[in-house]
Amino acid sequence: MGAVVRRNIPQIIVTIIILLMVIFYFFYISSEVRTAFNTWDKALTDWVVVITAMAAIVGGVDILRYHVNQSRKKEPKQVFFSGIVMIMEVIMVAFAVIALSSGISIPTQQNFQWLYTYIYAPSDAAMYSILIFYIASASYRAFRVRNPPALLLLVVAILVMLGNTSLGELLWSGLLPIRDWIMTVPNTAAFRPITMGLGFGIIILGLRLLLGKETTWMGRRE
Amino acid sequence: MDIIYSKAGVVPFALLVFLMLAGYYFMRKAKGGKPIPVRKIAAFDAIEEGVARSVEMGRPVHFTLGYGPLSTSMAPQYLAGLGVLNHVARLCGKYGANLVSTLGVPELIAAEEEVIRDAYYSAGKPELYNVTYNVRYLTDQQFAYASAVQATIQRENAGTNIMVGPFWAESLIFVEAGAASGAFQVAGTARETQIPFFVLAADYSFIGEEIFAAGAMASGDNVTLASIRGQDIGKLLSWVLIVVGLVLLPLGIKLATYLVM
Amino acid sequence: MTAIEKIDKILSTRQLLYTLLIIAIILPLIYPVGLPIGISSRTKAVYDYIQDDSKVPPGSHVLIEIYYEVAARAELEPQVIALMKQLFEKNCKLVFLSTITYGPLAFQFLQASAPDVFEGKTYGEDYVFLGYIAGQESAVASLAKSITGTVATDNYGNPTSSLPLIVEANDASAYALVIVASSGTDTFGWYVRQWYTPYHTPLLFGALSVIAPSIEPYVNAGQAVGMLTGQRSAAEYELLVGRKGLGIASMDAQSFAHGLILVFIIVGNIVFAYTKLSKRGEKK
């Protein structure tokens, strides 16, 4: 009974939904069937939203559990860090409860807006900005010409980077059209097979899900 | 009276069915006992090297799956990442390595816990399984996740850093954090724009669809592995269509118009 | 230790690389050099498309999807502002919306950054912001069929059926152009599938420069009329519309940063080649 509930029923649900989604994506089947499918489709989408929200709550509890455990270890740096995370989490939950109980939509609540604008947004922008530093260290450390294709890659990269900047304009006005050509022709040609290969990989993964050969999502292998 | 008609094209549907049948055909052949040879993927073999290296250095293995909601077009990549995690966890059980798995997909917390627990138990090392240590859900917000993973890699002093799943701008942050810690790095994503960063900075990388093949290889099952041949049939089909399209184009026939019928 | 080995030792310290980069970025921002900015053919093509009255008639309706959060503002916001300026000069009516939760805040920042562009424009008649619409691709599909059927109120609580702009343009067929300013990759595909394929509504993409290669196929296939990518395109567009903004202001810093990274790459390769040659020499 345990195996039926934990493996067979989820597998049957997944198989049925995959088949229905494929059929209704490709075909229109009478308006009554279509309406019924749309109703179920909307219901499924709503259930997905609910599951995602519940999973976020589980995630929040998981984070709290981890940091409570970590703070018990009494390492000074860890206690400080875990303490901040736990306090922030409690504050967020408190703001959400206040907003819900007073009937205000959470994103428009002033405190959330303040937290987002003055704490989250600058931190987000700062983390994104860190990328330029990592690109600099990666380009010194890792961008080495070990073979002829790497040399070709380096030359093309230099042409594109110079074409992207005003420094390139100073050197030669022809760099911009060269950059445009590289981005439009060889670059697109290189990306298209990767995209196609991805599509085939996803189709075959779908086949494995359909046939019950892909079970890691259930948390166990065959 | 309403009838059944195609709204997204009969030809695309036929191509989809053809590819699935091709994959199914090879899976049946493999079930009959015929081994299906699959090209070795260097990054897949490197995972074992990385885990062994971590054990020698006495440092944990770090694995990350990516962030975001499961119900998006990235879901196949999360599944592929779970497959690779399965393999990594079994190797960690085999060699007795500590595994720190971070993720930003709350729906997969339970699946990851089960995968890792299963792996340690079947390797005979149940004492290494500690749910709070092994599975760390961080957040599903991009740069909060990025900074948390970066901090985890550096704080835990990971000996091996394995990243398989969908990654966005944070991909380079992870490889650089791993490089700063001196970790051995294996990375893979099917997000085309991030593949170059992994190829440049990681020691080994899976390129695009190789993560799906890695997921199949990780299962260790010949039948599952055989399904990869279906991908190859798809590629062969696209070559044929490209050549046919190029031949027909000077004759004034655009093959693309027929492929969307 | 040879000179090359000394250079390698110095440049291997990350902190030095980062410091040089900070200087290369901050100095041009404080003391602008005014390097020339050429206009690429792709950006010009987008500008000409919008200027062409037969393609985007004066007074026509344009939908703008704001799908980026704060981190991507620097690249996408200047593009959107420049496009808005050109469209408002043609008296086009703009409908903004967002299918990402941060959209409303991004729109707030957009309004704060371009008060001159919004000057003289009346909310509800010249522009409208529908706010965050949940549902991603299904929301985009539903909007194409009926905006009032998908969104009951705009971001400020006004019923969409009471907004003159929405009443005039309630479905995909009423729009001369859809601009998708997105830091993601999926969004472009949603609009191609749900607006272009069924209704042939022209699409224009505004993307991060790193995303450009993956959306290039849409432009080449004619599914989008063009694309603007990154700060470079934003700077070019600002020059074309005659409004100096963050795009142009950032170009000097971007140029010097790119140049410095090129120097790092070249020096790194010189060091690598020298090390390889000297090891080969030692073996002999």
Q: Residue C104: list chain A partners with CB under 8 A.
A: 107
**Token digits for A206?**
């779908």
**Token digits for C138?**
């299904």
CA–CA separation, B198 and B187 (whole Å): 6
Report the predicted TM-score, pTM, of the whole model to 2 decimal places. 0.88
Residue with tokens 């199949």: B216
Query: Is B162 in contact with B88 (CB distance < 8 Å)?
Result: yes
Give the pLDDT confidence score for residue A48 in this predicted structure.
85
Q: How far is C85 from chain A (nearest CA, A)?
A: 24
Preferred mutation among A52, A134, A135 to probe B, highest tally of B CBs within 10 A: A134
Query: Is A183 in contact with C213 (CB distance < 8 Å)?
Result: yes
Instruction: Give percent of chain C with pLDDT exceeding 70.
Output: 99
Spatial CA neighbour of A61 closest among A84, A41, A86, A39: A86
Cβ pair A164:C220 closer than 8 A:
no
In degrees, to the nearest 5, what angle opens at C-alpha B40 toward C-alphas B34 and B46? 135
Bridge-partner residues for C66, per DSSP? Answer: C181
- Predicted confidence band of residue A222 (pLDDT cuts 50, 70, 90): very low
When pLDDT is averaged across residues C168-191 and rounded to a whole number, the result is 94
Domain ranges of chain A: 1-108, 143-212
Bridge-partner residues for C178, per DSSP? Answer: C63, C203
Per-residue pLDDT reduced to its tens digit, C240-281: 999 999 999 999 999 999 999 999 999 888 888 888 888 887
* CA C38, chain centre distance (Å): 18
Cβ pair C272:A145 closer than 8 A:
yes
Instruction: Give percent of chain A with pLDDT exceeding 70.
Output: 96
Per-residue pLDDT reduced to its tens digit, B199-234: 988 999 999 889 999 988 888 888 888 998 898 999
Q: Does C214 touch chain B (CB under 8 A)?
A: yes
Preferred mutation among A63, A65, A204, A220 to probe B, highest tally of B CBs within 10 A: A204
Q: Is C38 exposed, middle or buried (0-12, 13-18, 19+ CB in 10 A)?
A: middle
Query: Taking 60 as the threshold, does the pLDDT of residue A206 lie above it?
Result: yes
Quick check: helix, strand or coil at residue C152?
A: coil
Q: Closest partner residue to B193 among C14, C71, C211, by Cβ? A: C211
Cβ pair C136:B191 closer than 8 A:
no
Per-residue pLDDT reduced to its tens digit, C123-167: 999 999 999 998 888 899 999 999 999 999 999 989 999 999 999
Per-residue pLDDT reduced to its tens digit, B94-144: 999 999 999 999 999 999 999 999 999 988 999 999 998 999 999 988 999
The interface pTM score, or ipTM, of the predicted complex is: 0.88
CA–CA separation, A72 and A82 (whole Å): 10
In degrees, to the nearest 5, what angle opens at C-alpha B30 toward C-alphas B28 and B31? 60
Stated length of chain A: 222
When pLDDT is averaged across residues C73-90 and rounded to a whole number, the result is 96
Cβ pair B114:A219 closer than 8 A:
yes
Spatial CA neighbour of A53 closest among B140, B200, C267: B140
CA–CA separation, C201 and C179 (whole Å): 10
Give the pLDDT confidence score for residue A36 in this predicted structure.
85
Cβ pair C265:A125 closer than 8 A:
no
Q: Residue B180: list chain C partners with CB under 8 A.
A: 14
Query: Is B195 in contact with B208 (CB distance < 8 Å)?
Result: yes
Q: How far is A172 from chain B (nearest CA, A)?
A: 28
Q: Estimate the crossing angle of helix C73-89 against helix C103-113, to 10 degrees.
A: 60
Q: Which residue of chain C is at minimal alpha-carbon distance from A183?
A: C213
DSSP H or E run through C118: helix C115-118
Per-residue pLDDT reduced to its tens digit, B27-75: 999 988 777 788 889 999 999 999 999 999 999 999 999 998 888 888 9
**Token digits for B242?**
């490209």
The residues, ordered by sequence, that sit 6+ positions from A165 with a Cβ below 8 Å of its Cβ are: C35, C232, C251, C254, C255, C258, C259
Query: Taking 60 as the threshold, does the pLDDT of residue B2 lie above it?
Result: no
CA–CA separation, B106 and A57 (whole Å): 8
CATH of the structural domain C41-244, one choice from 2.60.40.10, 3.40.50.10160, 3.50.50.60, 3.30.420.40: 3.40.50.10160
**Token digits for C26?**
């901050």
Q: Residue A130: list chain C partners with CB under 8 A.
A: none
Give the pLDDT confidence score for residue B236 in this predicted structure.
94
In degrees, to the nearest 5, what angle opens at C-alpha B52 toward C-alphas B50 and B57? 95
Contacts 24+ apart (CB under 8 A), C210-213: C210/B169, C210/B193, C211/B193, C211/C182, C211/C183, C211/C184, C211/C185, C212/A183, C213/A183, C213/A187, C213/A188, C213/A190, C213/A191, C213/B192, C213/B193
Cβ pair A137:C135 closer than 8 A:
no
Per-residue pLDDT reduced to its tens digit, B71-83: 888 899 999 999 9
Terminus-to-terminus CA distance in chain A, angstroms? 18
Spatial CA neighbour of C41 closest among A166, A162, A181: A181
Cβ pair A166:C264 closer than 8 A:
no
Q: Closest partner residue to B114 among A62, A191, A220, by Cβ? A: A220
Per-residue pLDDT reduced to its tens digit, C82-114: 999 999 999 999 999 999 988 998 999 999 999
In degrees, to the nearest 5, what angle opens at C-alpha A51 toward C-alphas A48 and A57? 145
b/e per residue, C194-232, with b = 16+ CB within 10 A? bbbeeeebbbbbbbbbbbbbbbbebbeeebbbbbbbbbb
Query: Taking 80 as the threshold, does the pLDDT of residue A84 lie above it?
Result: yes
Cβ pair B137:A59 closer than 8 A:
yes
Three state DSSP letters for chain A: CHHHHHHHHHHHHHHHHHHHHHHHHHEECCHHHHHHHHHHHHHHHHHHHHHHHHHHHHHHHHHHHHHHHHHHCCCHHHHHHHHHHHHHHHHHHHHHHHHHHCCCCHHHCHHHHHHHHHHHHHHHHHHHHHHHHHHHHHHHHCCCCCCHHHHHHHHHHHHHHHHHCHHHHHHCCCHHHHHHHHHHCHHHHHHHHHHHHHHHHHHHHHHHHHHCCCCHHHCCCC
Per-residue pLDDT reduced to its tens digit, A112-168: 778 888 888 888 889 888 888 998 888 888 888 888 888 898 899 899 988 888 888
- Predicted confidence band of residue A106 (pLDDT cuts 50, 70, 90): low
CA–CA separation, B184 and B202 (whole Å): 8
Query: Taking 50 as the threshold, does the pLDDT of residue C222 lie above it?
Result: yes
Give the pLDDT confidence score for residue C148 in this predicted structure.
93
Q: Does B180 touch chain C (CB under 8 A)?
A: yes
Give the pLDDT confidence score for residue A108 in this predicted structure.
65
Q: How far is B193 from chain C (nearest CA, A)?
A: 6
Q: Does B122 touch chain A (CB under 8 A)?
A: no
CA–CA separation, C147 and C175 (whole Å): 12
CA–CA separation, C164 and C80 (whole Å): 23
Q: Residue B72: list chain C partners with CB under 8 A.
A: 136, 186
**Residue B252 CB neighbour total at 10 angstroms:** 6
Q: Closest partner residue to A219 among B80, B111, B230, by Cβ? A: B111
Cβ pair A138:B172 closer than 8 A:
yes
Preferred mutation among A38, A41, A113, A164 to probe C, highest tally of C CBs within 10 A: A164
Three state DSSP letters for chain B: CCCCEECCCHHHHHHHHHHHHHHHHHHHHHHCCCCCCCCCCHHHHHHHHHHHHHHHHCCCEEEEEEECCCCCCCHHHHHHHHHHHHHHHHHHHHHCCCEEEEEECHHHHHHHHHHHHHHHHHCCCHHHCCHHHHEEECCCCHHHHHHHHHHHHHHHCCCEEEEECCCCCHHHHHHHHHHHCCCEEEEEECCCCCHHHHHHHCCEEEECCHHHHHHHHHHCCHHHHHCHHHHHHHHHHHHHHHHHHHHHHHHCCCHHHHHCC
Contacts 24+ apart (CB under 8 A), A140-143: A140/C11, A140/C12, A140/C17, A140/C264, A140/C265, A140/C267, A140/C268, A141/B179, A141/B201, A141/C12, A141/C268, A142/B200, A142/B201, A143/B200, A143/C265, A143/C268, A143/C269
Torsions phi, psi for B202 (to 5 deg): -90, 160
